[in-house]
Amino acid sequence: MTERDLLIEVKDVKTYFFLDEGTVRAVDGCSFDILRGQTLGVVGESGCGKSVTAQSILRIVPPPGRIVSGEIIFHRKEKGNKASSVVEQVRLHELDPRGPEIREIRGNEIALIFQEPMTSLSPVHTIGDQIMEAIILHQKVDKEEARKRAIDVLSRVGLPKPEQRVDAYPHQLSGGMRQRAMIAMALSCTPSMLIADEPTTALDVTTEAQILDLMRKLQRDIGMAIMFITHNLGVIAEMCNEVVVMYLGKQVERADVDSVFYNPQHPYTQALLRSIPRIGQKSRERLESIKGMVPDPYSIPPGCPFHPRCAQYMPGICDRDQEIPFYQISEHQWARCYLYDQDVKKQKAQTEG
Amino acid sequence: MTGQVGPKLGDDVLLEVQDLVKHFPIRKGFLRRQTGAVKAVDGVSFFIREGETLGLVGESGCGKTTTGRCILRAIEPTSGQIYFKDKNMGRVEVVGLEKTQLKKLRQNMQMIFQDPYSSLNPRMTLLQIVGEPLLVNGVAKGKEIEDRVAELLRVVGLRPEYMVRYPHAFSGGQRQRIGVARALALNPQLIVCDEPVSALDVSIQAQILNMLQDLQEQFGLTYLFVAHDLSVVEHISDRVAVMYVGKLVESAKTEELFLNPMHPYTEALLSAVPKPDPRYKSKRIVLEGDVADPANPPPGCYFHPRCRYAIDRCKQELPLLRELKPDHFVACHRAEELALAGVAEQAADVTYR
């Protein structure tokens, strides 16, 4: 990996929400890098902090939440010249969330698409106006040119009859077309990174297949990196190069996609993979479910947050109230679990032997 | 399939639906004259045997929920017959039933809903929610209700002490268990499950699916399982029926349907599901365009504008549902000549530690 490939570095980011009821540790130590043109998948159940991680990168964490520690470094190609080989480092976590520097990056360098295209598009503006807003803001062109570019980007995402649809309101489009319009908006400034927060969850499988195909094609054309947030392991397997598994704000495993599916190391990842019904595997056998439920965010168990539900729970080790290191297992695989601690391994061998 | 009156299937059939139609009128203008109709369900026929699970799949807007609701007459069907083998009243025709008899019938047909947040009244305690069917039907009163509710909560894996609490105190998975307890209160024969796990997290989904299977064994229940997630449907169903724009296009035993689909829409649907396996290289069929408008469906086969096998005949003549193999029904003109791809068997060979 050379310096030039690196697009974004996230180092041990912690984003907490300070509420009257207590502090919610929405993201509690998350580290990963994204390379140019690569796809990183972030997977986990609801409330595990996947979306807040994305919000932290874009600095749009809603108050009372804020980033309490960690670093987010964005390697930006020279301003105004995305083909340039000169790279400058922008320390996103230090920027003022309302300042001009981050606004220059949002939408322009890093774009975001949301899960529910109906609620994230404005119902009182045409989709053309909404796309043109981003173009005019970032590209210093007049309205006429912006409209031309909006139509161009709409046809790139495969929206039929873009010259007419540019004047349509979101309610006039179907779910799949709305998601295409949303992707068009995100791509209008050819960003170097796209954050896709559950982009296909609200869609039907056939529409989902269309959108995933489209995203892959556009990624090839533009060469952008994608951070793909989803709870669907099937989508992860198809789209991603690298995967981060999260549980209750903690990053429990990080690995390349093949290792996650064929050689998962953290007990949570293993349990998650066993609990999903698989197509083409007809068996009416019981699924191996994970016992218990996700605890509420105010009473996260001490030590490893997964220990009350874990099949390999080691009393006196997993529930110690201290930070668990992120053990490196192989070149491309890390897991936050004491099973991979040398001392614990020795102890275990002694008691068993 | 049309023109026949009266049930024609054997004694083991619990529910038989013949030519079910539900049109929602479109009214326009000052006089609210009817100008058209949304053909939500347009001539659907199927049957469910006792103790069996029939999965009903299709994209959003294809009429699967409407079909489920028509069976309980939660929505009045426009036309068609529904025969139900009631354990007290014998074989009855549901569509023509009077109010008092309908109330008796509904004791044996219950429903579980998709959204566990909106399907429970937030102002009622669990005792009131789960006990309401008993009270309304005069089956039990006072202390008897309490005893029965306690028993039901135990059956669905909740603690009987919880009955004094309100729904807000429970998580999504627990709420879905409450919904199941309410459906079980009157010892029904048939439960219509309308997307019962699609709002739940992956690890919770497995728990609810396992519970539904256990209850089926324990109480001899019959399920109509309406869902859009094919892997879930494959896991739980004995037979599967596929709907497209208000019509049934294919139905067969689960294994048969997934391995040897005979309708091009089923084939496309199966190939579109993202497979949770990064080494699986799919030859995905991406359908062009959107689902047909049920208010204004295309002539001939409703699927022909998106079908890659369509011939001239498909554009003119509406295919009827035919039984091509025992228990395998298909509505396609070219079903015999096409060799369609099912879910490849090798995809099932992946094992996880």
* pLDDT per position as a tens digit, B266-302: 999 888 888 888 887 667 788 887 788 888 888 899 9
**Separation of alpha carbons A249 and A52, rounded Å:** 9
Structure tokens at A170: 């979101």
Could you report the per-residue pLDDT of A46-64, keeping only the tens digit for each?
878 888 999 999 999 988 8
Peptide bond before B299: cis, by omega within 30 degrees of 0?
no
**Most A CBs within 10 Å, among B57, B202, B273, to test the A interface:** B202
Return the residue matching tokens 């202390």.
B143
Q: Which residue has the higher pLDDT, B85 or A344?
A: B85
- Chain A residues whose CB is inside 8 A of the B269 CB are 205-206
Percentage of chain A exceeding pLDDT 90: 24
3-state secondary structure of A57: helix
Q: What is the pLDDT of residue B183?
A: 93
Is 80 exceeded by the pLDDT of residue A80? no
Is 80 exceeded by the pLDDT of residue B324? yes
Mean pLDDT computed over A13-40: 89
Question: Could you tell me which residues come within 8 angstroms of residue A233 by beta carbon, excluding any fewer than 6 positions away?
Answer: A43, A261, A272, A273, A276, B202, B276
**Most B CBs within 10 Å, among A118, A204, A231, to test the B interface:** A204
- Chain B residues whose CB is inside 8 A of the A205 CB are 59, 228, 230, 269, 272-273
Lowest mean per-residue pLDDT among A15-19, A137-141, B13-17: A137-141
Closest chain B residue by Cα to residue A209? B272
- Chain A residues whose CB is inside 8 A of the B292 CB are none
Q: Which of B60, B234, B270 sits opposite A282 (nearest CB)?
A: B234
Q: Cα distance from A71 to chain B (closest Cα, Å)? A: 30
**Separation of alpha carbons B294 and B243, rounded Å:** 12
**Separation of alpha carbons B63 and B294, rounded Å:** 9
Is 80 exceeded by the pLDDT of residue B262? yes
- The DSSP secondary structure of B274-323, one letter per residue, reads PPS-TT------PPPS-PPPTTSPPSSSTTGGG-TT--HHHHHSPPPPEE
Q: Cα distance from B309 to chain A (closest Cα, Å)? A: 17
Structure tokens at A332: 């491309």
To the question of domain B13-108+188-342 being in CATH 1.10.10.10, the answer is: no
Could you report the per-residue pLDDT of B75-131, keeping only the tens digit for each?
999 999 999 998 888 888 998 889 999 988 989 999 999 888 889 999 999 999 999
Lowest mean per-residue pLDDT among A86-90, A116-120, B216-220, B335-339: A116-120
Is 80 exceeded by the pLDDT of residue A205? yes
B209/A45 Cβ within 8 A: no
Mean pLDDT computed over B225-241: 91
Q: Which residues pair with A194 in a beta bridge?
A: A111, A226
What pTM does this model have? 0.84
ipTM above 0.90, yes or no: no
**Separation of alpha carbons B95 and B57, rounded Å:** 23
Q: What is the pLDDT of residue A282?
A: 59
Mean pLDDT computed over B308-313: 90
Mean pLDDT computed over A64-74: 91
**Separation of alpha carbons B343 and B329, rounded Å:** 19
A280/B343 Cβ within 8 A: yes
Mean pLDDT, chain B, rounded, equals 87
| Range with top average pLDDT, A117-126, A280-289, A344-353 | A117-126
Lowest mean per-residue pLDDT among A44-48, A166-170, B204-208: A44-48
Q: Cα distance from B94 to chain A (closest Cα, Å)? A: 31
User: Is the separation of the CB atoms in B54 and B46 below 8 Å?
Assistant: yes
Mean pLDDT, chain A, rounded, equals 86
Q: Cα distance from A59 to chain B (closest Cα, Å)? A: 27
Give the model's confidence band at A156: pLDDT under 50 very low, under 70 low, under 90 confident, else very high. Answer: confident
Q: Which of B171, B228, B255 sits opposite A282 (nearest CB)?
A: B255
Give the model's confidence band at B3: pLDDT under 50 very low, under 70 low, under 90 confident, else very high. Answer: very low
Could you report the per-residue pLDDT of B34-64, keeping only the tens digit for each?
888 888 999 999 999 999 999 999 888 888 8
- Chain B residues whose CB is inside 8 A of the A279 CB are 230-231, 234, 258, 270, 273, 275, 343, 347
Kindly provide the b/e burial profile for residues A50-87, where b requires at least 16 CB atoms within 10 angstroms of the residue's own CB: bbbbbbbbbbebeeebebeebebbbbbbeeeebeeeee
Within 13 Å, how many C-alpha atoms sit on residue A151's CB side?
A: 11
What one-letter code names the amino acid at A174?
Answer: S
3-state secondary structure of B290: coil
Q: What is the pLDDT of residue A221?
A: 86
- Chain B residues whose CB is inside 8 A of the A213 CB are 284, 286
Cα radius of gyration (chain B): 21
**Separation of alpha carbons B47 and B44, rounded Å:** 10
Helices and strands of chain B, counted as H and E runs: 10, 12
Structure tokens at B275: 């497979």
Residue B62, burial from CB neighbour count under 10 angstroms (0-12, 13-18, 19+) = buried
Q: What is the pLDDT of residue B131?
A: 93
User: Is the separation of the CB atoms in B84 and B91 below 8 Å?
Assistant: yes
Return the residue matching tokens 């005792």.
B127
Give the model's confidence band at A209: pLDDT under 50 very low, under 70 low, under 90 confident, else very high. Answer: confident
Could you report the per-residue pLDDT of A94-105, keeping only the tens digit for each?
888 888 888 888
SS3 for B132-157, per residue? HHHHHCCCCCCHHHHHHHHHHHHHCC
Helix (H) or strand (E) holding B174: helix B172-184
Find the length of chain B: 353
Give the model's confidence band at B353: pLDDT under 50 very low, under 70 low, under 90 confident, else very high. Answer: very low
Closest chain B residue by Cα to residue A286? B210
User: Is the separation of the CB atoms in A158 and B290 below 8 Å?
Assistant: no
Structure tokens at A88: 């400058």
Mean pLDDT computed over A229-245: 91
A231/B203 Cβ within 8 A: no
Q: What is the pLDDT of residue A291?
A: 82
Q: Cα distance from A248 to chain B (closest Cα, Å)? A: 13
- Chain A residues whose CB is inside 8 A of the B258 CB are 279-280, 282
Sign of CA dihedral B128, B131, B136, B139: negative
- DSSP E strand boundaries for A36-118: 39-43, 65-77, 87-91, 110-113
Q: Which of B202, B228, B284 sits opposite A209 (nearest CB)?
A: B284
Q: What is the pLDDT of residue B350?
A: 45
- DSSP E strand boundaries for B184-237: 190-194, 222-226
**Separation of alpha carbons A71 and A31, rounded Å:** 9
Q: What is the pLDDT of residue B1?
A: 44
Question: Could you tell me which residues come within 8 angstroms of residue A97 by beta carbon, excluding any fewer than 6 positions away?
Answer: A59, A60, A61
- Chain B residues whose CB is inside 8 A of the A277 CB are 206, 209, 231-232, 234-235
Q: Cα distance from B115 to chain A (closest Cα, Å)? A: 14
B235/A280 Cβ within 8 A: no
**Separation of alpha carbons B164 and B301, rounded Å:** 54
- Chain A residues whose CB is inside 8 A of the B174 CB are 293
Mean pLDDT computed over B208-218: 92
Residue B79's CB: how many other CB atoms inside 10 A?
A: 11
**Separation of alpha carbons A335 and B310, rounded Å:** 51
Q: What is the pLDDT of residue B2?
A: 43
Residue B81's CB: how many other CB atoms inside 10 A?
A: 19
- Where are the domains positioned within chain B? 13-108+188-342, 123-187
User: Is the separation of the CB atoms in B96 and B143 below 8 Å?
Assistant: no
Mean pLDDT computed over A321-328: 87
**Separation of alpha carbons A19 and A298, rounded Å:** 10
**Most B CBs within 10 Å, among A285, A287, A306, A329, to test the B interface:** A287
Q: What is the pLDDT of residue A1?
A: 45
